[in-house]
Amino acid sequence: MIRYILRRLAWALPTMLIVTFLVYVALRIGTNPVESYKRSNPRVTPEKIKQYIDINGLDPNYVLGYFRWLNNFVTGNWPRSIKGSREVWPALKDAMANTLRLGIAATVVGIIFGLIFGVLASIRPGGKRDIAINTGAFVGISIPPYISAILLQLLFAVYWQRWFGSSLFPTSGVYPAGHTGFDLFLMLKFMALPTIVVAIQIVATYSRYLRSSLLDVLNSDYMRTARSKGISERRVLIHHGMRNALIPIVTLAALDLGSIVGGLIISENIFSYPGMGLYFLKSFGDGDFPLLMPWMVIIVASILVFNLIADISYAWLDPRIRLE
């Protein structure tokens, strides 16, 4: 097991290099960092531009430039953002903390409800409850996150205020303007709507996954054996059924990181929640190369880590799978 993990980690490094190289090239072609630097700072001197090119590794030769960028990145010699010349790491760190909070909240809420609905639907397949949950999940999948965000905002913030005097949930930010310090209740209130938007997608996806996976398991021979042994129905369902049904789900959960991050980006943008998504959209819009590259590195790294977690937990849940 440990050897497997070590080998996977050893593989992760070259993968990381190749992917970040591709991202580097794509960003250079797509956002044209030097031009956007000049656009943001119209009166910049040629020396400054040369300095900017040097520290960002924007050599005309992509391979050479990439390694120059990599060298600066690894040694912690990070360039400042092109707009306002801010330090990158503090901004990135805050964004990461905010997104992690939102992402974890949405994932936990989403998976809990998804599992509950999935189990409820699979108890009597084809029944009224199954059909209702299935249709609901289908509607949930078909609603893009920005649409649920708009409608929730309209209902709970704008119209709630018209009807009842004050809005139920605030629509933007982490804290009200001017607030300092930590306040859990206030924070949760501000997180409510963005969390719901992301969670809707997760609930809809996972209740369907779990339903089909549970149905596969429920019809299998070992379930019949477990029942015939006289174990209580609850133990059969949870101990024998759930564990096996969760195997495919766990992999999917780890691999779904991309779509969760995608939902987060949209949700953060609409609710002006200062996380990774807003960070990306802003810096992409400005063509802010110094801000974009570290963001990309973090995303690529987390995708690789989650892939690894998926494989390991797969083997842990299903002893028949041998990692080698």
Partner 1 sequence: MAIRRFLSHKAAVTSCIILGVLTLFVILAPFTARYGVNESVQMPPNSFLTPRAQAWLGTDDIGRDLYSRLIYGVRVSLVIGLASALISVTVGSLVGAVAGFRGGKLDDIMMRITDLFLAFPFLVTLLIVRSVLGAMSWIKPLTGEMNSIRFIIILFGIFGWMGVARIIRGQVLSLKEREFIEASRAVGASRRYIIRRHLLPNSIGPIMVSLTFSVVGAITGEATLAFFGYGPQAGDGATSLGNLVGAAKGAVQTGFWWLAVFPCFTLVIIALSINFIGDALRDATDTQLDRGE
- Token pair recorded at residue 129: 């409850």
> With respect to partner 1, which residue has the nearer C-beta, 210 or 260?
260
Q: Pick from 17, 39, 132, 159: which binds partner 1 (CB under 8 A)?
A: 159
Work out whether 139 is an interface residue with partner 1 (CB under 8 A). Answer: yes
Query: Which range in 179-187, 224-232, 278-286, 309-317 contacts partner 1 by CB under 8 A?
Result: 278-286
Element containing residue 164 per DSSP (H, E): helix 160-164
Work out whether 215 is an interface residue with partner 1 (CB under 8 A). Answer: no
Q: How far is the CB of 143 from partner 1 (least distance, A)?
A: 5
Q: x/- binding map, residues 218-257, to partner 1, per CB under 8 A?
A: -------------------------------------x-x
Work out whether 209 is an interface residue with partner 1 (CB under 8 A). Answer: no
Q: Pick from 20, 23, 115, 271: which binds partner 1 (CB under 8 A)?
A: 23
Closest among 233, 232, 207 to 129, alpha carbons compared? 207
- Structural contact between residues 205 and 183, judged by C-beta atoms closer than 8 angstroms: no
- Token pair recorded at residue 315: 């083997």
Work out whether 4 is an interface residue with partner 1 (CB under 8 A). Answer: no
Which SS3 state, helix, strand or coil, does residue 39 take? Answer: helix
- Structural contact between residues 190 and 174, judged by C-beta atoms closer than 8 angstroms: yes
Q: Helices 289-317 & 243-255, crossing angle to 10 degrees?
A: 170
- Structural contact between residues 202 and 110, judged by C-beta atoms closer than 8 angstroms: yes
Closest among 148, 306, 119 to 214, alpha carbons compared? 119
> With respect to partner 1, which residue has the nearer C-beta, 63 or 158?
158
Phi and psi at residue 76, in whole multiples of 5°? 80, 10
Query: Which range in 2-10, 67-75, 80-88, 137-145 contacts partner 1 by CB under 8 A?
Result: 137-145
> Rounded to whole angstroms, how far apart are CA atoms 146 and 263?
9
Closest among 272, 135, 265, 267 to 197, alpha carbons compared? 267
Q: Pick from 146, 160, 175, 314: which binds partner 1 (CB under 8 A)?
A: 146
Q: x/- binding map, residues 57-96, to partner 1, per CB under 8 A?
A: ----------------------------------------
- Token pair recorded at residue 299: 């995303």
Query: Which range in 43-51, 82-90, 91-99, 262-270 contacts partner 1 by CB under 8 A?
Result: 262-270
State the residue for tokens 């440990």: 2
Which residues of this chain interact with partner 1, rule CB under 8 A? 19, 22-23, 26-27, 29-32, 135, 138-139, 141-144, 146-147, 150-151, 153-154, 158-159, 162, 171, 255, 257-259, 261-262, 265-266, 269-270, 280-281, 284, 299, 303, 307
